[in-house]
Amino acid sequence: VVGPSTQVARHWGTPAALVFIDGGHGVQPARDDFSGWTPRVAPGGVLAIHDVFPDPADGGRPPYEDIYLPALASGRFTELSATGSLRVLRCAGTP
């Protein structure tokens, strides 16, 4: 599927076993990816987020502050692994 992330997410109907977010690094694109895609991760599925930098000296903050942290805070996701700037979370389902 080719198209803007927000448009594709709006029309995505099938629960996804894997969602890999390697999107825009601005605040709004990160928030749009979070709101558009995290609800589509199936229970037991994986959410992978690229360019997660907890230390501001290492890179941009939106993937960390507006996708990774809210996903963990939602209670739906737990961290499986962290490799470099890639974070992999497992979806537990609806909190």
Q: Which residues are marked as active site?
A: 25
| Statement: residue 6 has pLDDT above 60 | yes
Cα–Cα distance, 39 to 79 (Å, whole number): 17
| Statement: residue 19 has pLDDT above 90 | yes
Residue 46: closest CA among 92, 94, 11, 95 = 92
pLDDT in tens, 34-82: 999 999 999 999 999 999 999 999 988 999 999 999 999 999 999 999 9
Instruction: Please list, in sequence order, all residues whose beta carbon lies within 8 angstroms of the beta carbon of residue 53, skipping any fewer than 6 positions away.
Output: 59, 60, 61, 63, 64, 85
Q: 21: phi > 0 → left, psi -120 to 50 → alpha, else beta; which?
A: beta
Q: How confident is the model at residue 12 (pLDDT cuts 50, 70, 90)?
A: very high
